[in-house]
Amino acid sequence: MTAPVLEVDGLSKQFTVNSGLVSRLFGNTQEVTAVRDVSFEVGRGETLALVGESGAGKSTVGNIITRVHEPSSGTVRYRGEDLHSLTGEELMEYRQSVQMVFQDPYSSLDPRYKVGSTVAEPLKIHTELSKDERQERVAELLETVNLDPAFANRFPHELSGGQLQRVSIATALSVDPDFIILDEPVSALDVSVQAQILNLLMRLQRERDLSYLFISHDLSVVKHLSDRVAVMYLGEIVERGETAGLFEAPVHPYTEGLLASVPQANPDDHRRGQRLTGEVPSPIDPPSGCPFHPRCDYATDECTEMNPALEDVFAGRDAACHNWEEVGGEAGARPDAVTVAEESPESED
Amino acid sequence: MSSEPRLSLQDLEVTYTTKHDEVTAVDGVSVDIQSDEIFGVVGESGCGKSTLANTILRLLDDNGEITGGEIRYNGRDLAEMSEKGLSRTVRGREISMVFQDPNTSLDPVYTIGQQLTETIRQHLDVSKQEARERAVQSLDDVGIPSPADRLDDYPHQFSGGMRQRVVIAIALSCNPSLLIADEPTTGLDVSIQAQILDLLKDINENRDTSVVLITHDLGVVAEICDRVGVMYAGNLVEVSPVGVIYNDPKHPYTQDLLKSIPETHDIKEELTVIKGSPPDLRSPPSGCRYHPRCSKVCSEACETGEMPRVYHEGESSVRCYIYDAAENPEYEATTNGTDEQSGEQSQQTKRGEQ
């Protein structure tokens, strides 16, 4: 991996719930930890996927990186600079360099703005371009995302979901960013449109050497698009590694269960491994020890008492599990065993 | 196909009337739902799959109307039945429905026990006590832990996945013979989705309940369905056993749809896309509605003729001129199989000519 563009180190975020006046007067406020000690790096031209179920803290991480939220502790470095020390000019530069695309294009675009004005908005803020130059640039951008430049004069309600998502991407690209946070960018789209947007994202990354932080719960899309994956559960990263290896042989029981739960678009391909039972516990009152232990088939006494740290379990893979060596059955998941696992998918027993 | 189908849709047509236009959202759909199967209906947004689901129980919006065809169920035509009769004997009793969002299906101001017993007492002649017992049993059947204690809880006290189980429990409380589930797992996490799908499968296997599952997710279909209907722009373009859909899809749309999902590609490989976008149903294209996007346009009829009729191809029914020997000269060449097959073909052709 090249030198990281973004380094996230020990990031934690607590929110206060019941923070109304009455609760505060009576001391009934509670803390909920949305993100706990999360660390990762994203290199130039690389895609890191953050995956996990709702409430895992994926979007909170994205929001901290865009400075929507302040972290409770930990640091975010962008090209070596601590994000939360940036002010004035430097902060403007950061906001130009890091862009975001959200899940729902219907709500992320202003319905009263014509598409052209939306795409031109960042140009107004970050560049000195004249009105005509901006219009020219908007036309170019719309072409980049395979839209007819005439769409600049339309309102969002005249466009389909896929077209709107292209507009969101064009807006993000308008100021030549190096880093884009994609928060569930294709979740609201139909299959055939999803393919168009994924192709567009892959092409833009190749052409512009963009780095992506790809936040998604859709594992088949993640598998297709990302170089590395970090799996989150209840605010923590539980496993992290190269995409192909992690999908082939997960070593954290949660990753294993998550992968086994994904419906495969192939009736002959039976899911392997143990599926997840139960539900994600409330983050207000998380379980003791390892947060996953109440749902885990591999749990031992140790798991109920001590939360395992995220550790390097073998080259290129980190996992936070006391019993990672047991996961995936006899074949295990060490690199030397991967080929065995490939040949006998039913290596469960 | 030996026994009588549980539900039979024949040439069903549904039209919505708006201020300026008429939109035929379901156009000439014919399909039989067998008594022991899970039948999946897939398609992209706006293809008419939810309209089709709502039509079976006549739950269409005010501006929607059945403008043709029959809904044969148990010797009756539901399209012709009185509203009162439908409510009393069919809806929630013999055919029940599960919708996408459990938050809007449940009434937040009633306990789930009240909501369950209301359905039970509406349809079955039982005492309050018996209804309550039945309610507990229903909750137990769908895997809600300690059901007796949870009967007096309100919907907000359940998690999203549990709420969908409650909705399914209500739907099953009167032992329906057909369950229609419209995107029952959309919006739920994958682990919960897997659990709900297992539950539907279990219901189908152990209760003599057929399931019609409406979804946009090809993975969900592969997971639990026996047969699949693919909808495009109001037409049911293909009906095939699930294995055929994934291994040897017949209609070009099904083929293109499967090619556009990441699972069928290598990592980072460019995905195959279907050109263009679904048509505006206010002015649908002439000929086959898929022809402007189709990579396999084979005859003039595709562009200018009628929407193709249903052709039978092995175990599949397909609406595509590729399977018409008269329109597609290459047809014989592509499927020149066994005698049995060609015998069936000529039979089909005859039937088509009648």
List the beta strands (DSSP E) in B20-60.
22-33, 38-42
Contact of B170 with B141, CB cutoff 8 Å: no
Cα–Cα distance list, B141 to B129, B144, B146, B234 (Å): 18, 8, 11, 36
Residues of B in contact with A191 (CB under 8 A): 44, 216, 218, 257, 260-261
Rounded to two decimals, the ipTM of the complex is 0.82
Residues of A with CB under 8 A from a CB of B: 53-54, 160-162, 190-196, 198-199, 202-203, 217, 219-221, 223-225, 243-244, 257-258, 260-268, 275-277, 279-280
pLDDT(A308) > 50? yes
Average pLDDT of chain A is 87
Q: Coil, helix or strand for B212? A: strand
**What are residue B42's DSSP bridge partners?**
B215, B230
Mutate to test the interface with B, among A266, A269, A270, A276 (most CBs of B within 10 A): A266
Q: What is the average per-residue pLDDT within B336-345?
A: 41
Sign of CA dihedral A144, A146, A151, A157: negative
Q: Coil, helix or strand for A197? A: helix
- Give B264 to chain A, closest Cα distance, Å: 9
How would you label A261-279 residue by residue, b for 16+ Cβ within 10 Å and e otherwise?
Answer: bbbbbbbeeeebbbbbeeb
Count CB neighbours of A189 within 10 A: 22
Is residue B29 situated within a structural domain?
no
In a shared domain, residues B243 and B337? yes
Closest-CA residue to B92 (of B180, B201, B161): B180
What is the spatial distance between Cα A75 and Cα B168, in angstroms, rounded to a whole number?
Answer: 46
Is residue B188 situated within a structural domain?
no
Structure tokens at B5: 């189908």
Q: What is the average per-residue pLDDT within B218-237?
A: 94
Interface touch B256/A192, C-beta < 8 Å: yes
Residue B327 is predicted with a pLDDT of 83
From the list B194, B263, B272, the residue facing A220 with the nearest CB is B263
In a shared domain, residues B251 and B328? yes
Residue A71 is predicted with a pLDDT of 93
Is residue B132 situated within a structural domain?
yes
Sheet with A236-242, side-by-side order of all strands: A98-101, A179-183, A211-216, A47-51, A228-233, A236-242, A317-319, A311-314
List the beta strands (DSSP E) in chain B.
7-17, 22-33, 38-42, 64-73, 76-77, 95-98, 178-182, 210-215, 227-232, 235-241, 311-313, 316-318
The chain B residue lying nearest A244, using CA atoms, is B267
Interface touch B273/A195, C-beta < 8 Å: yes
The chain B residue lying nearest A47, using CA atoms, is B268
- The structure tokens 């007819």 sit at A148
What is the spatial distance between Cα B338 and Cα B354, in angstroms, rounded to a whole number?
Answer: 25
Residues of B in contact with A266 (CB under 8 A): 222, 246, 263
CA atoms within 13 A on the CB side of B138: 26
Q: What is the average per-residue pLDDT within A258-271?
A: 80
In chain A, what are the domain boundaries? 231-343
Average pLDDT of chain B is 88
Q: Specify the number of domains making up chain B.
A: 2
The chain A residue lying nearest B263, using CA atoms, is A220
What is the spatial distance between Cα A330 and Cα A344, in angstroms, rounded to a whole number?
Answer: 11
Count CB neighbours of A22 within 10 A: 8
Interface touch A263/B242, C-beta < 8 Å: no
pLDDT(B272) > 50? yes
In a shared domain, residues B261 and B347? yes
Residue A344 is predicted with a pLDDT of 41
A277-284: Cβ within 8 A, 24+ apart:
A277/B195, A279/B159, A279/B161, A279/B162, A279/B191, A279/B192, A280/A53, A280/A54, A280/A55, A280/A56, A280/A233, A280/A234, A280/B189, A281/A234, A283/A32, A283/A33, A283/A34, A283/A55, A283/A234, A283/A235, A284/A17, A284/A30, A284/A32
Residues of B in contact with A297 (CB under 8 A): none
Angle between helices B128-141 and B160-172 (to 10 degrees): 130
Residue A346 is predicted with a pLDDT of 42
Phi, psi (rounded to 5 degrees) for A231: -95, 125
In a shared domain, residues B240 and B342? yes
A147-151: Cβ within 8 A, 24+ apart:
A151/A115, A151/A116
- Give A83 to chain B, closest Cα distance, Å: 31
For the ranges A43-57, B156-170, B187-201, B331-345, the lowest mean pLDDT is seen at B331-345
Residues 6+ apart with CB under 8 A from A301: none
Residue B4 is predicted with a pLDDT of 85
Is residue B7 situated within a structural domain?
no
What is the spatial distance between Cα A33 and Cα A17, in angstroms, rounded to a whole number?
Answer: 10
From the list A195, A223, A265, the residue facing B267 with the nearest CB is A223
Using a 10 angstrom Cβ sphere, with 0-12 exposed, 13-18 middle and 19 or more buried, the burial of residue A68 is: exposed
Residue A293 is predicted with a pLDDT of 94
DSSP letter at A284 equals T
The share of chain B scoring above pLDDT 90, in percent, equals 68
Residue A330 is predicted with a pLDDT of 45
Interface touch B159/A220, C-beta < 8 Å: no
Picking from B124, B152, B175, the residue at the C-terminal end of a domain is B175
What are A183-197's pLDDT values in tens digits?
A: 999 988 888 889 999
- Give B223 to chain A, closest Cα distance, Å: 6
Cα–Cα distance list, B59 to A37, A315, B97, B302 (Å): 50, 57, 10, 34
What is the spatial distance between Cα A42 and Cα A211, in angstroms, rounded to a whole number?
Answer: 7
What is the spatial distance between Cα A99 and Cα A174, in angstroms, rounded to a whole number?
Answer: 10
For the ranges A124-138, A334-348, B59-73, B101-115, the lowest mean pLDDT is seen at A334-348
Residue B67 is predicted with a pLDDT of 95
User: Pairing between strand B76-77 and B64-73?
Assistant: antiparallel
Residue A348 is predicted with a pLDDT of 39
Residue A133 is predicted with a pLDDT of 94
pLDDT(B277) > 90? no
pLDDT(A272) > 70? no
What is the spatial distance between Cα A50 and Cα A246, in angstroms, rounded to a whole number?
Answer: 13
pLDDT(B166) > 70? yes
Structure tokens at B215: 């979804």
What is the spatial distance between Cα A148 and Cα B296, in angstroms, rounded to a whole number?
Answer: 26
Residue B268 is predicted with a pLDDT of 87
Structure tokens at B328: 């597609």
Closest-CA residue to B293 (of A204, A154, A265, A193): A193
Sign of CA dihedral A256, A258, A259, A263: positive
Q: Provide the CATH number for the domain around residue B297.
A: 3.40.50.300
Picking from B131, B148, B175, the residue at the C-terminal end of a domain is B175
pLDDT(A337) > 70? no
The share of chain A scoring above pLDDT 70, in percent, equals 91
Count CB neighbours of A230 within 10 A: 25
Residues of A in contact with B271 (CB under 8 A): 195, 198-199, 224
Q: Coil, helix or strand for A295? A: helix
Is residue B85 situated within a structural domain?
no
Q: What is the average per-residue pLDDT within B142-148?
A: 91
Interface touch B216/A194, C-beta < 8 Å: no
What are B288-301's pLDDT values in tens digits?
A: 999 999 988 888 88
Is residue B78 situated within a structural domain?
no
Residues of A in contact with B270 (CB under 8 A): 199, 202-203
| Domain coverage including residue B309 | 235-353
pLDDT(B233) > 60? yes
User: Pairing between strand A211-216 and A179-183?
Assistant: parallel
The confidence band for B20, taking pLDDT boundaries of 50, 70 and 90, is confident
Residues of B with CB under 8 A from a CB of A: 44-45, 159, 161-162, 189-195, 197, 216-223, 242-243, 246-247, 256-258, 260-265, 267-274, 277
- Give B180 to chain A, closest Cα distance, Å: 20
In a shared domain, residues B269 and B344? yes
Structure tokens at A276: 């997840």
Interface touch B274/A192, C-beta < 8 Å: yes
Contact of A47 with A225, CB cutoff 8 Å: yes
- The structure tokens 């036309």 sit at A139
Q: Coil, helix or strand for A119? A: helix
Phi, psi (rounded to 5 degrees) for A2: -70, 175
Contact of A43 with A2, CB cutoff 8 Å: yes
Picking from B126, B153, B175, the residue at the C-terminal end of a domain is B175
The share of chain A scoring above pLDDT 90, in percent, equals 64
pLDDT(A335) > 60? no
In a shared domain, residues B144 and B243? no
Q: Coil, helix or strand for A333? A: coil
Q: What is the average per-residue pLDDT within A321-346?
A: 57
Interface size between A and B, measured as CB pairs under 8 A: 117
Cα–Cα distance list, A230 to A1, A223, A307, B316 (Å): 16, 12, 18, 42
From the list B217, B242, B268, the residue facing A224 with the nearest CB is B268
List the beta strands (DSSP E) in A21-61.
30-43, 47-51
Q: What is the average per-residue pLDDT within A1-10?
A: 85
The confidence band for A263, taking pLDDT boundaries of 50, 70 and 90, is confident
Q: What is the average per-residue pLDDT within A253-272?
A: 82
Phi, psi (rounded to 5 degrees) for A242: -60, 140
Residue B341 is predicted with a pLDDT of 42
Interface touch B271/A198, C-beta < 8 Å: yes
What are A213-234's pLDDT values in tens digits?
A: 999 988 999 999 999 999 999 9
